[in-house]
Amino acid sequence: MIEVRLRLVRPGFTLDVDLALPACGVTALFGASGCGKTTLLRALAGLEHAQGRVAMGNTLWQDDAARIFVPTHRRALGYVIQEAALFPHLDVRRNIDYGRRRAGCKADPAARGAAAQAVSLAVRSAADDAAADAAVIELLDIGALLARKPHTLSGGERQRVAIARALAARPQLLLMDEPLAALDAARKAEILPYLERLHAELALPVIYVSHALDEVARLADHLVLLQHGRVLAQGGLADVLARLDLPLPLGQEAGVVLQGVVAERDAAWQLARLDVDTHCRLWARDLGLPLGHAVRLRVLARDVSLSHSAQPCSSIGNQLQAVVEAVADDEHPALTLVRLRVGSAPLLARLTRRSAHQLAIVPGAVVWAQVKTVALME
């Protein structure tokens, strides 16, 4: 686990967190602007000296009670920010080389060796730094860019190079502070698949700061919600997003993230059936993935409607029997949010209060949840 107990007091703002984060996968720090996401990330990196304790497993980075504070340059971490911040006078290859040289600055040789083994699944057996860098370059698809200077790259290309440089330092922890915030929609769409590849293949923990829920839904495994410098909630992504007791400004983005597998493909109609469990089966666009391939599916509350019975003569292709678990006020005075359970899978539905009243939507009620296939094709 990554242990983080930190407190930092500034005029008008206090950061006060106590976290035990998983030492694998992607943990997202999410919340409104000014909630303390970047401050917490900088304190983890040692760039801000908050009071408390930071431990990476058995490796102690900070413990004020024991008067221990490892400076940033001796922490085995990689840091990627909004702007790529590449050295303009160096080409891509030498920018990445700079990251590898930084790996030699770590205080703990054993930690450095462990980090080198954990860069990615593809390089665990790498015999040297060159092989490890080659695997990262291939993973991020920047081999054709190595001889180019930063000013000749697109925003997405520069950010991929910045990630490669961070990984070249053989970090035990990768920190990413809104790495897509400075990119337009097209460049963001370009780089997101590479971040998903990192998520799938990296064998080191990533802490990812974002205020964009679509990024969090695509990338995160664990979610920490911050509000006014304090932890509002934390836990598995699906569990936290399905809660109705959190005053989050999600608006039209309220929904759940489900994990499933490709169970059937309908080539004639270019659709695929994605099974979350034996009760929750959803048809969506066929992305050409093989049967048995794991998928992540986001279902927005605005795309779920409810009825008392199945509707055989309907254009809505996904109709699932569900049990109402909870009902809560929505941000809009005319709307309400309903949490449902379909087998083991949670769903959220957004209804008008009138519809909820007419359908007698109360905890324990059995209903049919309807999700348009087209809503799952983005």
> Domain map of the chain by residue range?
2-241, 252-376
32, amino acid identity: A
pLDDT score for 242: 87
Domain 252-376 has CATH 2.40.50.100: yes
Task: Give the integer Cα–Cα distance in Å for 173 and 76.
Answer: 7
CA–CA separation, 65 and 67 (whole Å): 6
- Which residue, chain included where needed, has tokens 């990330």? 41
Q: Check residue 338 and give its pLDDT.
A: 93
For position 32, what pLDDT does the model report?
Answer: 85
Number of other residues whose CB lies within 10 A of the CB of residue 266: 11
- pLDDT score at 103: 66
Contact criterion met (CB below 8 Å) for 41 and 17: no
Taking the C-alpha atoms of residue 160 and residue 326, their distance in angstroms, rounded to an integer, is: 42
- Averaged over successive runs of 10 residues, the pLDDT of the chain (378 residues) comes to 94 94 92 90 93 92 93 91 88 88 56 46 50 83 91 90 89 91 85 86 88 88 93 91 72 83 93 92 91 91 92 89 89 86 92 93 95 80
Round to whole Å and give the CA distance between 249 and 268. 40
Integer CA distances (angstroms), 302 to 26, 108, 219, 318, in order: 26, 50, 21, 15
Sign of the CA dihedral 121, 127, 129, 130? negative
Q: Which residues of 233-255 are buried (b: 16+ CB within 10 A; e: fewer)?
A: bbeebbebbbbbeeebebeebbb
Tokens 């950010």 identify what position?
A: 159
Cite the DSSP H helix spans in the chain. Answer: 37-45, 92-102, 109-117, 129-140, 155-168, 185-201, 213-219, 237-241, 353-358
Kindly report the pTM of this predicted structure.
0.83
- Give, for 21, the enclosing helix (H) or strand (E): strand 13-21
The domain 2-241 having CATH identifier 3.40.50.300: the answer here is: yes
Q: How far is CA 185 from CA 9, 44, 68, 190, 259, in A?
A: 36, 29, 43, 9, 26
